[in-house]
Amino acid sequence: MRLAPNGPLLDEAGPDSDVVLSSRVRLARNLAGFPFVNKATVAQRHQVIGLVQRVGLESTLGTGTVWVNLMHATSKERQLLVERHLISRQLAEGDTPRAVAISPDERISVMINEEDHLRLQVLLPGQQLEDALSRANSVDDAVETKLDVSFSRRWGYLTACPTNVGCGIRLSVMLHLPALRMTGEIERVRRAAKELHLAVRGFYGEGSDSTGDLYQVSNQVTLGVSENDLLEQFCQRIVPRLIDYERQARRLLEQSPTTLDDRLHRAMGVLRSARLMGIDEAMKLLSRIRLGACLGRLPDVDLRTVRRLLLQAQPAHLQLAMGSELGEDQLREARATMIREALT
């Protein structure tokens, strides 16, 4: 598997990156004439992979597109792809024929035989939902030019789970909301999100925790709304409002500068001194210093370093960087060393 040591979100921060880490658009599509993945035979799943491979995705994903057959990938490689947000946990953990095509810049991935035959994903740094949707549509058009997809006049794009039926699209933003968490306002945001029919999830999407104060906010309604309606809702109302709430909460924290600085410098102190560090603690403390860097209160810390550490502290990335199979304690030691060296 040919993947760069770092992901696409490392070199570029993107717009509104003090709060928005990344923007993602995901489309769910199924090929006509086949049962959905859970009822498809092994032969049919191979057929779906074969048909998608012949579409010529390289023309939209770019020359050098990487194809990964997940039946042949090692568990470490699969975990690396999850940490890089290129595949879902469900695709990583499956045990039937499934694959992913990844664009050379790692901004586009096409998962085959996840819950639906196709899950097209575009992931861009910062708030770039409009660009992400436009790219996702280009890939979708390329697929639909060559293959018939399951579609009904009434229900729209037919998906294995009826929660995705309709336009089959999920827009989401990964938000860093440490100040809303510290001020206890995050529950209010969750409730407001619920009223707006939005899902608020953790760092790795469905079923994951909000490690490092990172929250993924996405639409839940996909029927009766067009792609452009959703884009407008997100770009005009939802995302600007969430960014504004977090920035207000940050200003509130700055009204008690000593308390805030104490928290930031304590985090910095532990990161610069610890000899063993688990992933949850690393994420929590890196989140703190990311806040400090965004507010200009930790002048020694640059955001690129924090972005790199947030990625490379993940277990599979750490294993890859160390070049050897490490046990849990060795991983904690390697993580602490890597962070300490990067921050001192």
Partner 1 sequence: MRCQHCDKPAVVHEVLIKNGKRTEVHLCETHAAEAGVPVTLHQPINQLLSQLVNVSPAGAKASPAKAQPTCSTCGLTFAQFRNSGILGCPDCYDIFEQNLGPLIEKAHAGAVSHTGKVPQRAGGNLDLQLLRQRLVRELDEAVAAEQYERAARLRDRLLTLPESGCSPATGIGEIEGA
Q: Which of residues 46-65 bind partner 1 (CB under 8 A)?
A: 46-47, 49-51, 53-55
Q: Is residue 144 near partner 1 by the rule CB under 8 A?
A: yes
Nearer to partner 1, 13 or 66 (CB): 66
Q: Is residue 157 near partner 1 by the rule CB under 8 A?
A: yes
Which of 9, 57, 86, 158 binds partner 1 (CB under 8 A)? It is 158
What are the CA-CA distances from residue 145 to residues 1, 97, 137, 160 (Å)? 29, 24, 12, 22
Q: Is residue 233 near partner 1 by the rule CB under 8 A?
A: no
Would the CA dihedral through 239, 240, 245, 250 be positive or negative? positive
- Tell me the one-letter amino acid at 23: S
Angle at 153 between CA 150 and CA 154, to 5 degrees: 105
Minimum Å distance from CB 297 to partner 1? 24
Nearer to partner 1, 19 or 147 (CB): 147
CA distance 3 to 7: 8
Binding mask 94-113 for partner 1 (x = CB under 8 A): ---xxx------------x-
Q: Which string of DSSP letters, residue by residue, matches 288-342?
A: HHHHHHHTTS-TT--HHHHHHHHHHTSHHHHHHHHTS---HHHHHHHHHHHHHHH
Whether 127 and 16 have beta carbons less than 8 Å apart is answered as yes
Minimum Å distance from CB 74 to partner 1? 15
Nearer to partner 1, 6 or 163 (CB): 163
Which of 229, 262, 280, 302 binds partner 1 (CB under 8 A)? It is 229
Q: Is residue 77 near partner 1 by the rule CB under 8 A?
A: no
Nearer to partner 1, 183 or 330 (CB): 183
Nearest CA to 38 among 170, 161, 199, 168? 161
DSSP E strands in the chain: the ranges are: 20-29, 66-69, 99-102, 108-112, 118-125, 151-152, 156-157, 169-176, 198-201, 214-219
Nearer to partner 1, 47 or 337 (CB): 47
Nearer to partner 1, 66 or 322 (CB): 66
CA distance 212 to 178: 8
Q: Is residue 206 near partner 1 by the rule CB under 8 A?
A: no
- Number of residues located near partner 1, criterion CB under 8 A: 72
Kindly identify the residues of this chain, within the stretch 170-199, that bind partner 1 according to CB under 8 A.
Answer: 184-185, 187-188, 191, 194-195, 197
CA distance 336 to 339: 5
Nearest CA to 61 among 125, 8, 114? 8
Q: Is residue 154 near partner 1 by the rule CB under 8 A?
A: yes
Which of 21, 61, 102, 160 binds partner 1 (CB under 8 A)? It is 160
Choices 1-9, 31-39, 277-285, 305-313; region in contact with partner 1 by CB under 8 A:
31-39
- For the stretch 254-257, contacts whose Cβ atoms lie closer than 8 Å and that sit 24 or more positions apart, written own/partner, are 254/295
Which of 63, 152, 258, 324 binds partner 1 (CB under 8 A)? It is 152
Kindly identify the residues of this chain, within the stretch 267-306, that bind partner 1 according to CB under 8 A.
Answer: none
